[in-house]
Amino acid sequence: MSVERDRLHQHRRLWQRRPALRAVYARWFGLFLEALPRRARVVEVGAGPGFLGEHARLHRPDLRWIATDLLAVPWNDAAADALRLPLRDGSVDAVVGLDVVHHLADPGRFFEGAAHALSPRGSLLFIEPWVTPFSYPIYKWLHEEGCTLALDPWHPFPGPGKDPWDGDAAVPWGLVRRTPEARWRALGLAAPRVRLLNGFAYLGTLGFSERSLLPDGAIRLLQAVDDRAAALARLFGLRAVLAWRRSDGAGPSAAGDGDREREQGEEPAGRDQKAPGD
């Protein structure tokens, strides 16, 4: 997996050179940290270049954070497959990840294993791509991973030989919109809560490219636009905070309370609804 490892090293190199990119991600990292109780036992899956774990250790040293990834790299704590987490039942308070769910070859296997690992008040917290009228054409035609609304979100990558970097932005949207609450309960989870996030500032950075589309000052202005246009995230959102709790507990939810979710563009779960391109 030398190609995958080289890509992680490239991301770490770009991270050091791109302060605006770090500022955009810091906002997302903060949403994880705000949701986690003091001294929580946290396992991060798909940690990749290690930025979330580094941020957590700096800003929330009380958390007992273990960063894992499929690849063994020196900046993470352990190599582990998210589909086969080596965790005892009830051993962690949260399983978290950034841009992980839409890469999973078998989401059902992951959710079942992660639910067993959660303590009675534990939660799964993820930030993932989300489908809106604005984001759909971006993910569909301008992003390397694509956005296939018709896919089966529980078996999104049929056939053998899935590359770890293969992903589809429609997977999280499909899981939330097309999964009845009973299926989540069978996995040991309550239905997910969703908070939509705008991503104008992220688009301005061009992600992990060699250079930004806009200067750093303009990206800071776009962060303010993201905040002020939060109520329009149903139309213009690019990402979503997804929070599941164990069905027998009330774990932390990055989506916040019901009023706050509506202000930020909450999406109801478990309803099959048409989206752009259907």
* Average pLDDT value over all residues in the chain: 91
Q: Is residue 120 part of a domain?
A: yes
Q: Is residue 174 part of a domain?
A: yes
Tracing tokens 């995230």 back to the chain, one arrives at: 233
Is residue 278 domain-resident? Answer: no
pTM for the full predicted model: 0.91
Q: Which residue range is the domain that position 27 belongs to?
A: 2-264
Report if residue 273 sits inside a domain: no
The answer to whether residue 193 is domain-embedded is: yes
121-169 pLDDT tens trace: 999 999 999 999 999 999 999 999 999 999 999 999 998 889 999 999 9
| Of residues 46, 206, 10, the one with CA closest to residue 128 | 46
CATH number of the CATH domain containing 56: 3.40.50.150
d(CA 219, CA 226): 10
Judge whether 269 lies within some domain: no
Domain assignment of residue 176, yes or no: yes
Residue pointed to by tokens 């302060």: 19
- How many structural domains is the chain composed of? 1
Return the pLDDT at 258: 36
For the cut 60, the answer to whether the pLDDT of residue 36 exceeds it is yes
